[in-house]
Structures are given as structure tokens and as C-alpha cells.
């Protein structure tokens, strides 16, 4: 199981979710994507995205510099072909 990091700080809705979706497509099932954002809409957006696609939101937390999400790649988003 690999961990990939995505810096989406400074981006406004819907860009953090769109970039997370794109990044998840490149991961294998069971891999984890860590996304960092600053948009206040991100907690609701990431939760809705995971619910809609079947990805697992492992952690959602607010820190000093914004938000951090850990999303486990599930079978929900089809894997991108290389």
C-alpha cells in the first residue's frame, strides 16, 4: 500500500476535489491519497465526493494551515490507463 500526497492549498471548490479524483485514478486499490487544502468548503466537498464514488475517507482534520484528508482508493473511481 502506497501513500501519495496532493497539495491543493490555495485552490477553491471544485478544484481540490477534481485534482483528488484525477490523482486517485492513478493509484491502486488500497493506496492512500493525502490531500491538503485551504478551502473552507473542502470538508463537505471531500466527504460528498467519497460518498458518491465509494472511496474511503479515512481521516478529515483541520490544522493550522488548512485541512488534511486521507482517502483510501477503492474500486469506485476507474483506474486511468497508463
Which of 13, 18, 57, 74 is flagged as catalytic?
13
Task: Respond yes or no: is residue 13 known to be catalytic.
Answer: yes
For residue 34, count other CB atoms closer than 10 A to its CB.
16
Instruction: Tell me which H or E stretch contains 35.
Output: strand 32-37
Are 15 and 6 within 8 A, CB to CB? Answer: no
Catalytic residues: 13
Amino acid at each position: 500500500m502506497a501513500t501519495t500526497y496532493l497539495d491543493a492549498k490555495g485552490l477553491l471548490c471544485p478544484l481540490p476535489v477534481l485534482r483528488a479524483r484525477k490523482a486517485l485514478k492513478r493509484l491502486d486499490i488500497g493506496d492512500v491519497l493525502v490531500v491538503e487544502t485551504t478551502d473552507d468548503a473542502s470538508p463537505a466537498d471531500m466527504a460528498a465526493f467519497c460518498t458518491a464514488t465509494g472511496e474511503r475517507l479515512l481521516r478529515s482534520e483541520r490544522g493550522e494551515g488548512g485541512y488534511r484528508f486521507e482517502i483510501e482508493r477503492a474500486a469506485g473511481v476507474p483506474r486511468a490507463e497508463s
